């Protein structure tokens, strides 16, 4: 039986152009902290009625929900990166390094929130997270659940 690894992103701080969350790995009944995540601002919490979802290209956090993660080649970054599948109203949502909301364009940026509205040490945090995802994908599927 294939194993499922679940990441849980708890959104915590919302600024006018960014959202900061804490990313955990769900290990049985407990959550193990991995890093912080920077993404664009949450514009609408609607989940059940995505027809009313407010989206601004490159400036909107993805909708709450659970998404499968795969790794595939990114033409933009010229290498394999984690990709979230079937995100409503979004295409190409990846996990990659970056430090500010200007770097996100709807993607998730791992790092550590030591500066308001930003993450630092993003390359290190990304490498750790990506290494985990690569390992987990060898034995099963990986999902990310985005919650409040």
- pLDDT band with cut points at 50, 70 and 90 for residue 54: low
- Which has the higher per-residue pLDDT, 13 or 58? 13
Residue ranges making up the domain that contains 85: 3-147
pLDDT more than 90, % of the chain: 70
pLDDT at 123: 97
- pLDDT band with cut points at 50, 70 and 90 for residue 48: very low
Burial (Cβ within 10 Å: 0-12, 13-18, ≥19) of residue 86? exposed
| Section 101-112 average pLDDT | 93
Beta strand 79-84 with 140-147 is unpaired
Helices (H), the chain: 122-137
- Looking at the predicted structure, is the pLDDT value of residue 24 above 50? yes
| Section 39-59 average pLDDT | 65
* Domain total of the chain: 1
Burial (Cβ within 10 Å: 0-12, 13-18, ≥19) of residue 27? exposed
pLDDT at 46: 45
- Does the global pTM surpass 0.85? yes
Which of 52-61, 62-71, 133-142 shows the lowest mean pLDDT across its residues? 52-61
What angle (nearest 5°) sits at the alpha carbon of residue 82, between those of residues 36 and 111? Answer: 20
């Amino acid at each position: 039986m294939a194993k499922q690894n679940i990441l849980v992103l708890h959104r915590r701080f919302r600024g006018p152009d960014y959202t900061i969350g804490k990313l955990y790995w769900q290990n049985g009944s407990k959550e193990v902290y991995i890093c912080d995540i920077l993404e664009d601002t949450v514009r609408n919490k609607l989940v059940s009625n995505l027809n009313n979802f407010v989206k601004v290209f490159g400036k909107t956090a993805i909708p709450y929900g659970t998404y499968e993660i795969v790794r595939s080649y990114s033409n933009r970054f010229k290498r394999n990166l984690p990709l979230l599948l079937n995100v409503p109203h979004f295409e190409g949502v990846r996990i990659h390094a970056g430090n500010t909301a200007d770097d996100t364009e709807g993607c998730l940026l791992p790092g550590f929130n030591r500066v308001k509205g930003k993450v630092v040490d993003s390359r290190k945090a990304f490498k750790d997270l990506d290494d985990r995802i690569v390992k987990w994908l060898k034995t099963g599927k990986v999902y990310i659940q985005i919650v409040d």
